[in-house]
Structure 1
Amino acid sequence: MIFPNDRPAPPTVGKPSLLSHDVLPTAAFGAFRVGAKKLLPETTTKPGGRYRQCNQKHAMNKIFAFFLIISLFCNCSKYEKSQITDIEKLSSPSKQFDVYLYSVESGMSFGSNVNALQIVKYQEKPDFYNADFFRVSNSGPFQIKWENNNLTIKTISHIRTVAEKQPFKTEFLTYKGVEIRNDIYTQFSGTATTELKFRDFYEKNENIVFKNDMDSLVFDINKSQISIGFNYIEVTTFKPNKFYKNRGLDLEFYKLFPIKKMNFSKLEKYQPLTIIKN
């Protein structure tokens, strides 16, 4: 969820539309066309008893176009389970809210995925399959934190630009009464995912160290995002490029596997995301 899409989605509450590359209910339209065809008469009667053949195909196209336009302005679409991917959850420290991050895949060849953010009350079950979500502009967040029941997210801009500082732009938005601060960066580089099996981990000077008998990885918690899965940990690190600081961040990705069963509860104070299996 951290790579930029080909095209940005507007930072608004989700609503199905062609303009935002959402998934149109094509199956519903197909069913409608079949049903409408059965209902349309083959002939129509004019005054004086004259008959003329109805142009059924032309009428069908008009009706289809009419309902297509209406669909752009109504919130009647339901997403399929297969379209919802990369679900992650973060509870607020106050236990008032849960925020879910996920991707909504487009069902159209020319569309792009939507980076979705949904906020619900703590332990309330979210509905991933309707359009009630906040669209995260730019990339999906590569870091997210709760601060006094408000959210701070960091995203990568779709626009490549040379900035004097990072983040080069900050947006303030509100969704379901929660203020969302979006710090927007540019990206200079990204790496392939590095994997490591570890035997132990510990904290030291605001760093988290994962180690095995031969090697270790050290992560600065202030420049990292941790996500915890069923039997693995994902870490994304970010920092300004050493030589071209005004050109964006270097992002690195790690997937860590514990050799034995471990308790990760002491990582909770760093607000790790929980990876949800869909």
Structure 2
Amino acid sequence: MGRFFPTASSASPTVGKPSLLSHDVLPTVAFDAFRKEACNFFSERRQSRAGRCTTFYKNRIKKIIFMKNPFLILFLTTQTFTLFGQQKANYPEPLSGMKRVDLILPKIENEKNHKVEIRFGMKSKTSECSESNSFSFNIKNLKNEYGIQPSRFPYYILPSQIPIETLEFYNDKNCDKNKIVERKLISDQSIQTEYQSYYPVPFYIPENWTIEYKLWKTDNQYKTIK
């Protein structure tokens, strides 16, 4: 067999050591030379006891970026943030009988020390003597989705037709039971979220519903139960 590598000449297979192919097209000595040339291709290498090359791959591109060109680091970082910043939340259009209401909170100091309690409101016609001021619905009907998967830019969806329950309490003093008035009812069910003013949180609710919220201030300290 003629010269296979610049540093390897033809030779017979080593006794007791099989060649790469059963018909000895590539002798073991030549294969060892191939292994040696492959090792020399990398900047760092080590020979094991069995004569095999263990390679520690060094990424030359990373070395150039992180050691020799800090301006390139800044450029790539800027481009990365630009790429993520160009992502827009994908919100659906309201279905028939529904509307979209965006919860937009103002910027305040120490936002982490505040929580937001969100409830739902609606107007109902009832007797002037009624003292009812709330209604109930199955909170499982409230679906939490995201404008960018898997968990960025949350929004909430209620179905257009949703059963509700109200309890009527009547006061017979100084009122007319036959007189019908319109009152605002607030849901017994609520959700609580972190205070954040960076982006709006859309709610898709029935057209005759409203979004009601109030703020809670905390000291942001956890207490251990003893």
What TM-score do the two structures reach when normalised by structure 2? Answer: 0.18
What TM-score do the two structures reach when normalised by structure 1? Answer: 0.16
Which protein has greater RCO, CA pairs closer than 8 Å, 6+ apart?
A: 2
**In proportion to residue count, which structure has more strand?**
1
